[in-house]
Every structure is written in C-alpha cells, then in structure tokens.
Amino acid sequence: MGLTVEKSSNTSINAEGIVSQETICSNPDYSIIRFYSPSTLSLNTMQSVDHEKFEIVSELEKYVSNIVIDGYRNHNFFGEASHPKSVNSAEEDITIVRYLIKNNNSGQYVSTVSKMQAKSINELPAFSGIMKNVYSDDTLKLLSSLDQNKIWEISSLTNVPNTSDLVTLETVKSLFQEALGNNEVWVGRIVEGTMNAFNYFLGPNIKTIGEKISIKEVEEDPDFDSEIFLVPFMFEPDRGLDILLDSIKKGLYDLGFDFDVNDNLSFQQILSNNLTLEKLQLLKNNKNNGEFKKFSTQVYFFSSFTEGLSSNKLRDDLSIFRDLFMKI
C-alpha cells in the first residue's frame, strides 16, 4: 500500500484556530485525513456561529466513533448494547487530533487513530480514574518531569471489519513519520496481544510502564470482556528506528553470523562480503526458519517505515542501512 506522509494542505475548516482538516498523505488506494477535534466550548461556538463548519466536523467525528465501535465489536470487546465511553470525549482542556484513513476506491473510511494532549498527564484518560492505580509513583514522577507539550496519548487505534491489519500499521507509520524530530513521547493503553505484535514487527519499542488491567475495569461496563487486558505503554518515535536496528542486528547474531553483538559494528561490516549475502538468501529460502522470518519481517518494516522520509528526518547512516537492506 505504501502510504507516505505529505504536507499537502487540503481543506481548511478553522474555527477560532482550533479546528482544521488536512490530507497528510495520499496514494492511489488510500489517503489519511487529519483534523483537530474541537473542545466542547469551541464546538458550541461553531454550532452557533457557523452551522456548515459545525456539520463538517460533526460528520467527521461520527466516522471516528462508528469505526471505533465497529472495530471493538469485531474484536469481541463488548456486546451489542455497549458503546465505548471515551471515543468522542472532546474535553475543554484536552487537544485531540483525529486521523481518518479513507479507501479511495470505495470512498469508505476504514481506519482511525487519535492523539490527545493536555497541560498535565494527570488530565489524560490513560492517567485518570481507575488508571491511576496501575502506575508506580516513580513512573508518574518521571512522566511529570518531561515536557508535557511533547507527551501525546494515542487512542482509538482500530479499523473496520474485513480490512487488512496492514492498514492499521500504515496508520501508525504515518503518525510515526510525522512525529520524527519532534521529541514526542507517546503513552496510552494497548491490548496485550497487539503490543506483542508491534514489538515483533518493530523490535522492543513499546515499553510497559504499568500493571495491565482488564478492559472491563477501565470502561466500568459489565458488557466488556474481562479476559481482554490493556497494557499501559510508552513509545518514543525518535528512538524507534535505532531500537529496531539493534533488534535486526541481534537477529543476524541469532541466525549464526559470527560477530560480537555488543560491538558497535555497522551493518556494512557485518554484511561485508558476498558469502554473507549468499547465506542470507539460503536462509530466506528456508520457509521453516522462524528466526529468519522475524529478521526479514523487521527488515521489511524498517524499509517500510523509512519509505519516503525526507533527508532531514532520516540520518545518513539510516539511509545507508535502508539501501543495504533492500539487497536482502
């Protein structure tokens, strides 16, 4: 699919500088629209001042809510009568940025994710209510000591039924590329199985920062599945590619390549001769090699997540590694 973040501004629907819509990436099959969700106060202002703008934003919010509800139901999070309470909470003091992924062929919105920011992490849903109990005091002190303008809660990451999970990964890729160079820290709650999958694809990037908790407890709704657990996490986009590269290097070591995994060797040094590349090709042909499958999957996602990045967001050494990996 290969979605790439672009800064081609699309439609502006500003209301007091708070609400806007922009197409941030596009290809023949899919496009991603980013818009700022208004606070309750500004939404009321829009309704009274400009009904047309109010209708546009309200319609986009409905798409987000419907995708999340359908996605949660598709993953058996809750019964037919249940609705997640946090999908459209546009609090006055929380900045919410929505992303909608559109299938250009069908015209249907198929995936979504949101980013939220507050003056303090204590005002974010991931740190409010019962969630306060899952973090240690040291974790809360550490997060509180960081620049709160750099902390974003990631939420509502899901897609409609019968949509490839790769669409979700492309959504994350777009947010990731957009965040590079901004020193952002992402926090939130993620389904345990999804976190494990991301760390398989992208190396051990997603860090657990608290005790896992059942989605039933978080939502305080008896219809939610008590067997599904959410894990509090932290992810730093600017460290993501280096962590993934370290995991790829460890993968080469696990595949039997003779080097000290603790040495600061470049991939050019590790893959310095045709014999090494030939060995990789032989491993590639062994369909039952689990270690190679993980290694090649991470190489694929490194290439995918760096695709289309401008030179100011991709260091020279990362660019060289990417070109080298394309030969494998």
Render 236-303 in DSSP notation, one character per residue: -HHHHHHHHHHHHHHHHHHTT--S-TTS---HHHHT-SHHHHHHHHHHHT-TT-HHHHHHHHHHHHHH
pLDDT reading at 166 higher than 60: yes
Percent of the residues in the chain that have a pLDDT greater than 70, as a whole number: 69
* pLDDT at residue 277, rounded to an integer: 65
* pLDDT at residue 26, rounded to an integer: 46
Lowest mean pLDDT among 13-22, 52-61, 242-251: 13-22
Average pLDDT over residues 205-231: 83
* Residue 134: band (very low, low, confident or very high) from pLDDT cuts 50, 70, 90: very high
Between 110 and 58, whose confidence is greater? 110
Average pLDDT over residues 84-97: 61
Average pLDDT over residues 127-154: 93
- Tell me the two tokens of residue 165: 């999970």
Burial 202-235 (b: 16+ CB within 10 A, else e): bbebbeebbeebebbbbbebeebbeebbbbbbbb
* pLDDT at residue 275, rounded to an integer: 56
Percent of the residues in the chain that have a pLDDT greater than 90, as a whole number: 25
Average pLDDT over residues 29-54: 61
Residues 91 and 116: beta-carbon distance below 8 Å? no
Phi and psi for 189 in degrees, rounded to 5? -130, 135
pTM of the model: 0.82
* Residue 52: band (very low, low, confident or very high) from pLDDT cuts 50, 70, 90: low
| Strand 109-117 to 213-214 pairing | unpaired
User: SS3 for 226?
Assistant: coil
User: Which among 123, 128, 122, 242 has a CA at the least distance from the CA of 180?
Assistant: 242
* pLDDT at residue 208, rounded to an integer: 95
Q: What is the average pLDDT score of the chain?
A: 77
Give the side-chain half-sphere CA count within 13 A for 46. Answer: 22
* pLDDT at residue 20, rounded to an integer: 41
pLDDT reading at 211 higher than 60: yes
